Structure 1
Amino acid sequence: GVKEITQGTTAVATPPPPPSTTTESATTTAPGTTTGPGTTTAPGTTTGPVTTTGPQTTTGPATTTGPQTTTGPATTTGPETTTGPQTTTGPVTTTGPQTTTGPATTTGPQTTTGPVTTTAPGTTTAPVTTTGPVTSTGPGTTGPVTTTAPGTTTAPVTTTAPVTTTGPGTTTGPVTTTAPGT
């Protein structure tokens, strides 16, 4: 006769994924979404949209060529280069150079201790404190701006909140101020 063999199956539970932690170079060529803490200790390059809803800490260079949206705190201790739009709704602290070639919108406080270069429109609705040079080559609309190092502006700047400058400043385009300016 024919013997029929029946093999049983055992269900294996799948553990939850750990927080996103990268200790080597991270390269992403498709959209990346992070809903928990993300820590990168080596250079990270992203060529698709990046959305972060939890804290983001980067200790190496960060290069983004697609839109970047951050809704939690972001701390960067190495250079950050963004060539697409950047939207930040939580605090941003940058201790290395920051270069943005697409629109940048910040609705939370931003503190930068290295140079900041913006070549496209920038809109800031919260205080910005900069202790290194600031260069802006596109129109900018800001909230309070405090600059303790040289600042150069080559395009129109419209300011609707106080501006205080404690170092030399050079302006080659029109400046409109609708609140006290020192």
Structure 2
Amino acid sequence: MLLGLASQAQTVGNVDVSLTMPSVALVDILPSAANGVTLQMTAPTEAGNTVGTGTSNQSNWLIFTSAVATGASRSIKGDIVGTLPAGIRLRLDVAAYVGTGQGFTGGNSYVTANKYLTNVPVSFIDNIKGAYTGITYGSSGFKLTYSLEIQNYANIRSGTSNVTVRYTMVDN
């Protein structure tokens, strides 16, 4: 009979737990941004033919980690630091996400249309909330393809130019 009474007695202990999640907005390029991209126009071999825009470069992958406040979102924007040669446009194509990251699949984040990069930042991944891409080169993140296009033949000139493509994660 005492055994039955002892099993019905209860005690409760409480612990207050405080949780803090910092705001996180990190973006990077794989391989490291120190690895440059070279794009080269090609000369025609026959008079009267167009100057070629050369081959594209697909050696970079964009990766990121994000944690935002409730109801907030972020975008990733790209712009050029420097001056492109007259008559030339730099196109950025962003492939759909691949990898094992979390948070932006299932309709949350999305890639907008491919963009031409200028000195004015342009958004190309929108609606980023809590997310991470993973960090494995070639199999995590968003594959970036850079290519050149001739915008105005009358303005093109021979020579070499260097610009920096800058990627920024911004709060919406």
Say yes or no: TM over 0.5: no
Structure that is richer in strand per residue: 1
Larger radius of gyration: 2
